[in-house]
Amino acid sequence: MTAAVDDLLLRERRGPVLVATINRPDKGNALSRPVLAALDALVDDLTAAEAAQVPDRARALVLTGAGEKAFSAGADITELDGITGSGAREQMRLGQAIFDRIEQLPLLVVAAVNGVAFGGGLELAMAADMRIAAPGARLAQPEITLGNLPGWGGTQRLPRLIGRGRATELILSGEPVDAGSAAAMGLVNRVAEDCLGEAVRFATGVAARNPAAVRGAKLAIHIGLTAGPAAGLLVEADAVAECCQTPEQRAAVQAFLNRRRSPVPPQA
């Protein structure tokens, strides 16, 4: 990537966690094509480091937006002005593919929703494994107000998160919900004053777990939701078998057994 594109998605290591910040605060952190390219390159780097088992690789990813107003206000509307049908389809498939890659990363992905998450911004947040929102955050799929519908996975991920009825209501009304309402319906996992700090704290805890268990759990959940429970159960069993071959699992089991075998000290 060029330096200019690098500047659109800032990367910062916080221990085992990589924080990636969409850096277009003057544009509501809108997801332009260069931002999408930067997200795609980030996935490339994380995937390559995982495949090579780089010792100091990031074990979790936190996505957030620069400033206090927006996680991401959505797609860059200037890129949609006058777009043709074929051009729109290509743009939608591009975003869908990148968000699918984020969802399928073999490590935890947390969206720290620090402000508005509208349209493509909400679709990006939903591609994460979980969402932690600031109290002032607002979330919406407002594409209907522009004569369109969500095109980067919103019609698929939103119903899975909050159910068909509520998802249909949000998609067809375009109305935003506040952080508290989003938490109540399951759209975000929790609300925290320092959503980024809370996201890093949670991600750090997960990063300390057996990477094979994190990877296997994510894959089993994904396959179960997309291919059905039978396929998910097969993946689950394979993942458990893989974990049983890892030193992390064996050490954890032995530590548990040793605690149980330890004599209870006499009481005074």
Domain layout of the chain by residue ranges: 3-207, 211-261
Structure confidence at residue 268 (pLDDT): 56
Name the average pLDDT for the chain.
94
Q: Structure tokens of 137?
A: 């955050």
Structure confidence at residue 141 (pLDDT): 98
213 phi and psi angles, rounded to 5 deg: -70, -40
> Are the beta carbons of 62 and 19 closer than 8 angstroms?
yes
Report the pLDDT averaged over residues 123-137.
Answer: 98
Structure confidence at residue 1 (pLDDT): 40
> Are the beta carbons of 202 and 132 closer than 8 angstroms?
yes
Q: Which residue has the higher pLDDT, 261 or 139?
A: 139
Structure confidence at residue 209 (pLDDT): 96
Q: Domain 3-207 sits in which CATH superfamily?
A: 2-enoyl-CoA Hydratase; Chain A, domain 1 (3.90.226.10)
pTM of the model: 0.93
Write the single-letter amino acid at 152: W
Q: Active-site positions?
A: 123, 143
Contact partners, residue 47, CB within 8 Å, separation at least 6: 101, 105, 106
Report the pLDDT averaged over residues 134-139.
Answer: 98
